[in-house]
Amino acid sequence: MEYQLTADVAPAPDLPGLDPLQQHGVAALLDEQLDLLAGIEGPDGLEVEPLDHRVAVHPHGAVITWLLDAPALAFAEEAARHVLTELLAQTDLLEGWSVGRCEVIATDDDLAAALGDVEVAEDSDDEDGELSEEEVAALRDELEASSAQLRAVGPEAFGHVADDPSCAVSAQAARLVAGAMVQGMEVLTDELFADVQELEDAETSASEVEALSVLDQLPQRYADHYGALFAKQFLVITAILGHRLTQPGWTAPLCTAEALALHVLKTEAAVQLELAGLIDELPMKEIMAAFDEHVLGGVEHERLYDQGEGADADEDDIDLLGTPGLDFDEWFLPRGGDAPVHPYLAVETAAGVTAE
């Protein structure tokens, strides 16, 4: 049975907080070490298989979200704690780090559901390993500080109305979510680099690779088309999006792929808010509804997630006919047709089409 597990790892409490460069290094190191694990021997010699993982680093440690195949929940938790403890002890650059909380959460979709219609499952009542009030406050301060980099939109894009005292979204809430978008973009970019490497090593498409972080969040009926070249093109689109979000003024997504990158970015932002304990405190549905209305400009990319798979896929394609940009061949084409195309987006994709 598959279990999604969350583990907190942290340095010695007397060490100063990690700066951005150190956070990046810790994320890369943990990701590299976890990639090397082909299997874990659990209690009584039972095998626990790691299927996928995600690492999110903050100034006072890291949160590892791990998908494991194990005979039972207790085996998954015990084996994961043991192997993480061993991993930290054997990694010189992580000397003094330790494992705090290490527990299975309710479903595989807890983090991704933070922005959807499903409520985020509540964590266990076990408080061991949770961040202190000071650490949570530091994370929130960093989110507010990061919000200054998101210059493309103002607080109104997150539902804040300055002259409405009854508005459900405060100015601070808007800043926190804006900061989460900025930090989420950093994580999204790192994860895309990892996805590109995974696909290049596998020399196949995303439908044949399990350990993908970003491409697994795109419409899965097209997974056969998500090869290494597609992943690189999506990385270019994401880089363009990140730049546009830091510049004053906003225009709607330049293409369907950019709208999909925004879709994934919202999930990454939810992870940052979850780390800071903010998901349950903020009116997320109102905030994200306002964000979609303000930012998306009518792109109907979410219809791509409603399409069927397998035998139903061809029939469902009929529903997309006449909707510009939704055909897979058109994802990287500029909306309106006259805008320039980044040269890398004009090369042949894994599906054998061009964005010219």
pLDDT tens per residue across span 286-312: 999 999 999 998 788 888 887 554 434
- How far apart, in whole angstroms, are the C-alpha atoms of residue 159 and residue 294? 9
Nearest-angstrom CA–CA distance, 293 and 247: 19
Q: Considering 88, 105, 122, which residue would you say is the last residue of a domain?
A: 105
pLDDT in tens, 87-142: 999 888 898 899 988 877 533 444 444 444 434 334 434 444 456 677 778 888 98
**Token pair recorded at residue 221:** 């009926």
Q: Is residue 121 part of a domain?
A: no
Contacts of residue 12, defined as CB under 8 A and 6 or more positions apart, other chains included, come to: 96, 97, 98
CA distance 221 to 161: 39
Residue 291 placed within a domain: yes
End-to-end Cα, the chain, rounded Å = 45
| Domain co-membership, 38 together with 94 | yes
* Structural domain contains residue 93: yes
What's the number of domains the chain is made of?
2
Q: Give domain status of residue 130, yes or no.
A: no
**Element housing 285 (H / E):** helix 284-295
Residue 32 CA neighbour count, 13 Å, CB half:
10
- Tell whether 47 and 153 lie within a shared domain: no
- Neighbouring-strand partners of residue 63: 8, 56
Instruction: Say whether both 171 and 226 belong to one domain.
Output: yes
- Does the pLDDT value for residue 9 go beyond 80? yes
Query: Strand 98-104 relative to strand 47-58: parallel, antiparallel, unpaired?
Result: unpaired
Q: How confident is the model at residue 348 (pLDDT cuts 50, 70, 90)?
A: low
Per-residue pLDDT at 123: 41
Q: What per-residue confidence (pLDDT) applies to 79?
A: 83
Give the chain's radius of gyration (CA, Å).
Answer: 21
Last residue of a domain, one of 85, 105, 125: 105
Q: Is the predicted pLDDT of residue 229 greater than 90, yes or no?
A: yes
Torsion angle (degrees, nearest 10) of CA 142, 27, 230, 306: -60
The amino acid sitting at 206 is A
| Same domain (yes/no): 95, 166 | no
Nearest CA among 125, 134, 228, 250 for reference residue 181:
250
Could you tell me if 271 and 156 lie in one domain? Answer: yes
Task: Name the β-bridge partners of 7.
Answer: 64, 102
154 and 300 inside one domain: yes
Is residue 198 packed enough to be buried (19+ CB in 10 Å), middle (13-18) or exposed (0-12)?
A: buried
pTM comes to: 0.63
Taking alpha carbons only, the member of 102, 100, 40 closest to residue 71 is 40
Query: 101 and 38, same structural domain?
Result: yes
| The pLDDT value given to residue 214 | 92
Instruction: Give the 3-state secondary structure of residue 178.
Output: helix
- The highest-confidence range among 130-134, 152-156, 218-222, 296-300, by mean pLDDT, is 152-156
Q: Determine what percent of the chain is predicted with pLDDT higher than 90.
A: 34
55: domain CATH number is 3.30.70
Residue 310, pLDDT score: 44
Burial code (b: 16+ CB inside 10 Å, e: under 16) for 277-287 equals bbbeebbbeeb
Of 83, 105, 127, the position where a domain reaches its end is: 105
Question: Please, what is the Cα angle at 7 between 209 and 212, to 5 degrees?
Answer: 15
The answer to whether residue 262 scores a pLDDT higher than 70 is: yes
Q: Which is more confident, 198 or 108?
A: 198
265-285: average pLDDT: 89
Per the DSSP assignment, residues forming a β-bridge with 64 are 7, 55
Same domain, 217 and 273: yes
Q: Are residues 64 and 182 in the same domain?
A: no
- What is the arithmetic mean of pLDDT over 57-70? 82
Confidence of residue 337 (pLDDT cuts 50, 70, 90): low
Longest dimension (CA), the chain: 64
Same domain, 51 and 174: no
**What does the alpha-carbon distance between residue 20 and residue 242 come to, in Å, rounded to a whole number?**
17
- List the beta strands (DSSP E) in 260-312: none
Q: Which pLDDT belongs to residue 317?
A: 56
In a domain, 354, yes or no: no
pLDDT at site 239: 95
Residue 352, domain member (yes or no): no
Domain ranges, residue 99: 2-105
CA–CA separation, 29 vs 35, rounded Å?
A: 10
Q: Evaluate whether residue 126 is within a structural domain.
A: no
Asked whether residue 14 is assigned to any structural domain, the reply reads: yes
Is residue 143 domain-shared with residue 280, that is, in the same domain? yes
